[in-house]
A and B are shown apart, each in its own frame.
Chain A
C-alpha cells in the first residue's frame, strides 16, 4: 500500500522535558489512522510537527513522497483539540478568511462553502456571529473549514467533543465519506468506540514513546488469548462447573439469555483446538452460546498502558 505520510524517528525536547522519543509512524493512503495515548503522551506534539507548527529536533517527516515543506500546509486539514473561531466575526466571512489562508481563491471558497452549508443544513447561519451560535453549531463550522480545501491529509483531534450523538454520527459519516473519496485521515481520540468503528490502523503513544503500532485487526489477533464465552445447558450444573474449572482456566461471565444455563469465559490452552473444545462442550450438554472473546480497542489500550 502506498504511504501518504511517513514519520521517521522524530524526537522533540521542550527544555528538559522530552515530548517525543524516536517516534515513527506510517500512514497508508486512503486509510483512517488512530493516534491513541493517554493525556500528555505526546500526541499533540506529533500532530503539531506534522502541521509544521513546531519543528522536530531530530527525525524527518515525509508527505506524499516529499520531505515536509511550507507549501504542504495546504494539503493538510487540521482540526485541533484546542479549537475556536473569532467570536465577533460573522460565520461566512470567517469561513472565507480561513479558506483563503489555506490557498483557496475567494470564488472557489464561496462555492464550496455553499455546498457544505447546504449539505449540513446550516446555510442560514452565514451572517450570524460566532458568539451567537451554540458550541455544537460552532463545531460544525469548524469542521467545514477544516475539510473545505479538500486536503489529502485530514487530522482530527477529538473531533466529536461538543457534539450531541446525532451530530457526532453525522460528522462520523462525513469523515468516512471523505475517506471513501480518497482522503487520508489521522484521528486522535479518547473515545474508544469510535476507534473501534472507524480506524483501520492504530498507533499508541505513551510517555513520549510509541508502544504499539499496526492494523487494528492484526493487533486484535495478537491480543486475543483463546478465551471463549460459552453457555451450556447441563443436567447437573454443579458437577459440570467443577469439571470445567478443573480442566481449564475459567472466569465468570454474564450475558443475556432466555435459558437457564452455565455462563463462563473459558481460556483454552494452545494445545486444544477450537473444534476439540466444542466437541468436549457438546459432550457435556447442550451448547447454547459460543463466542470468541476479541479484545476491544479499549481493552488493548488499558492493557498495553498498564504493561508499560
Chain B
C-alpha cells in the first residue's frame, strides 16, 4: 500500500484551501507593492523639498562656486556682520547659514568655516558642501605652490586592470557583482523559504496533536510516511504560494510603475549611481550584463539551485517537523527553535561575508560541505566556478543527511506525537531516540 500520494494530496489541499493561507497569498503582494510605492512616493517628496542656504563669504574666494541646484538654493550675502546674517537666516526660515571668515592663510581658513542651522544638518548635504569647499581650497593651494591644476588633471590616468582567468576567460567587476547577486538571491530565497514554510510544517504537526487525530492516522500509516507526506505536501503548497507571489508582484509592479508613473529607481538609495551609469550609456551596460550572464554557468546554476534548494529545504523541514512532534503547543517551541535557526543564520553570515570576500577560501569550502550550511554557501559559491565533483559531493552529503534526519525526526515523531501535556526537555527527547 502506498499512501504517500494520498497524504501529500490531503496536506496540500488543506493548506491551499485554508482561509488565512489564501488571504496571505493574495494580500502579501499588494502589501509589498503598496509599501514599495509608498517608499517611492515618500522619497520623491523628500527630493522635492528645497533647502535654502545663505552664504556669508568674507574671504571672497568662493563667490563663483555656489551654484544652486533644484534641491539646494544658495543666497550670497554681502556687507553684513555674522550676527546680522544669523538673524536674517533665522527670520527668513533659511535652512542654514554657511560662514566663511577672512583669514591670513588657507590653512587657517580650513579650520574656521562654520555652518549654522536650526537642527543638525543633513549629512549628505554637508558632505556635498565640504567636498566643494575642499576642492576649491586645494586648487587654490596648488596655485599658491605654482602648480597648474589643469596640468594635473590632464596628467591623471585611470586604471582598471583587465581580469582574466588562467584559461583565458575574461572576468570583470561587473561579472563578480552579477555572480554575487545570483548567489545572494538564491541563498536569501532559500533562507526565507525555510523560515516561512518550516514553521508551517511545524504548525501542521502540532495541529494533528492538539486535535488528537494523530493516533487514528498512525494506526493506518507509518509515522515516517506521514512525516514525508507532510513535508512534501507543505512544500508544494509553499511553492504554489511563492509562484503566485512572484507573478502577482511582477504584474502589480508593472501596473504601479506605469499608472502612477513612479520610477522604480527613485525608491532605491543608490539613485545617484544608477543615474551616473545611465549617463554612461544604457545600451552599453545592458549589453555588458547580457554578456556576463552568458558567461555564467547557467545550466549548472539552475540544476544545482534546484537540488540545493530542495535538499536544504527538506533537511530543515524535517527538523521543524520533529520540533512540532516534541511539543504540545506553539508557545513551547521557543527552546527548540534556536538550534535550528543558528546554523541557518551562520550559513547566511558565512555566505554574505566570507564567500563574497573569498569564494574559494578554506572557510567557504568547509561550510559548503556541511549539510546545514551547504545549501546557502554552495549556492553562493557556484557562480564563481566550483568544480562539478565538489558540487556533487556536497549534494550527496546533503541528501544523505536529509535521509538520516528523516529517520531521526521520525523517531522523535513517533514518540512525541503520542505524548500529551508535558513539556519535554532535551534529555527526554534524547531518550525517545532509544525507544
Contacts and interface: CB of A to CB of B under 8 A. Distances in A.
Contact of B212 (A70, A83, A145): A83
A98 B220 contact: yes
A88 interface: yes
A79 B10 CA distance: 21
Interface bin, chain A: 20 to 34
Contact of B219 (A78, A86, A88, A89): A78
Nearest to B10: A97
A80 B18 contact: no
A237 interface: no
B136 interface: no
Contact of A145 (B6, B216, B218, B221): B216
A70 B211 contact: no
B389 interface: no
B169 interface: no
Contacts of B221: 73, 101
Nearest to A16: B431
B7 to A, nearest CB: 8
Contact of B431 (A15, A54, A84): A15
B3 to A, nearest CB: 6
Interface bin, chain B: 20 to 34
A263 interface: no
A266 B164 CA distance: 111
Interface string A92-105: 00000110111100
A307 interface: no
A48 B18 CA distance: 32
A73 B420 CA distance: 24
Contacts of B211: 84-87
B215 A101 contact: no
B215 A53 contact: yes
A53 B220 contact: no
A11 to B, nearest CB: 13
Contacts of A199: none
The DSSP consensus for interface residues of chain B is loop
B222 interface: yes
Contacts of B219: 51-53, 73, 76, 78, 80
B222 A88 contact: no
A86 B3 CA distance: 18
Interface in A26-82: 48, 51-54, 70-71, 73-74, 76, 78-80, 82
A73 B220 CA distance: 6
A255 interface: no
Nearest to B212: A84
A280 interface: no
B215 A74 contact: no
B217 interface: yes
A74 B221 CA distance: 10
Contacts of A142: 216
Contact of B215 (A15, A80, A88, A98): A80
B1 A83 contact: no
A54 B435 contact: yes
Contacts of A98: 216-217, 220
A88 B18 contact: yes
A53 B418 contact: yes
A213 to B, nearest CB: 25
B365 interface: no
Contacts of A100: 3, 6
Contacts of B208: 86
Contacts of B393: none
10 A-B pairs with least C-beta separation: A84-B212, A101-B220, A80-B215, A78-B219, A84-B211, A51-B219, A84-B213, A82-B212, A15-B431, A87-B211
18 contacts: A51-B219, A54-B414, A70-B222, A74-B1, A80-B215, A82-B418, A83-B213, A84-B211, A84-B212, A84-B213, A84-B216, A85-B211, A86-B14, A86-B208, A100-B3, A100-B6, A101-B7, A101-B220
Given A14-B435, A74-B1, A80-B216, 17 more contacts: A15-B435, A70-B222, A73-B219, A73-B221, A79-B216, A80-B212, A80-B219, A82-B418, A82-B420, A83-B212, A87-B211, A97-B6, A97-B10, A101-B7, A101-B221, A103-B1, A145-B216
